[in-house]
Amino acid sequence: MTPLAKLLEAALFASGTPVSAAELRAMARHATDGEETLESALDSLRDHYETDGHGVELVEIAGGWQILTRPEFTEAIERAQLASRPQRLSAAALETLAIIAYRQPIGRAEIEEIRGVGAGAILKSLHERGLVDVVARGEGIGRPLLYGTTPAFLEQFALRHLEELPRADELAIALRAPRPATLTGSLVRENGEPPARAD
């Protein structure tokens, strides 16, 4: 491993949460002569874990990097009570998150319109878990709160960024036969870019 790769390994080991590229780059600038790029050092670290057969691996998450254990050891670690899997989200919570992820910024009324049920309690719980946040106020009566996803959302689903979610043409809906032209209703917006943050 290169010197910078070793430093990155130490830094990522020390941090429990993903470390952003900007943070790693700032650290690398202070610590090395600057000849080695961050990207090549990260590649070097990843190769190190891949080729030598390690119990951990380098994972890119939420715009940063993190060292995580390999999935094949989950059960053994849990049996030893060294760590345990976090709780699953309910179907209702996942539906709400899916809608927010694709339609953000989106208000509560629109979420309820799509799901056909009230969303207040679920929004509150998602907000408390830090998975969604109020990102704007809408137009119209009462200037409704508009919600968007947070970096914690990306972390929870191990997404690098929102664009990693499937695009419109990647959703394999069995009943999507383009029959009547009037039926253009689509979760994904017309341009096919799922997570348009700004309209």
Footprint of another protein on this chain (CB under 8 A)?
A: 13, 15-17, 59, 66-71, 74, 77, 82-92, 94-95, 97-99, 101-102, 114-118, 124, 127-130, 134, 145, 155-159, 165-166, 171-173, 175-177, 179-180, 182-188
**Three-state secondary structure call for residue 105:** coil
* Cβ proximity of 22 and 56 under 8 Å: no
Closest to another protein by CB, 44 or 66: 66
**Least distance to another protein, CB of residue 53, Å:** 17
Nearer to another protein, 25 or 167 (CB): 167
Nearer to another protein, 36 or 48 (CB): 48
Distance in Å, CB of 47 to another protein, minimum: 19
CB of 12 to another protein, least distance (A): 8
Cα 139 to Cα 116: distance, rounded to the nearest angstrom:
22
Residues 6+ apart with CB under 8 A from 63: 18, 20, 21, 151, 154, 160, 161
Question: What is the smallest separation between the CB atom of 178 and another protein, expressed in angstroms?
Answer: 10
Q: Minimal CA–CA distance to 18: which of 59, 64, 68, 58?
A: 64
Distance CA 4, CA 107 (A): 45
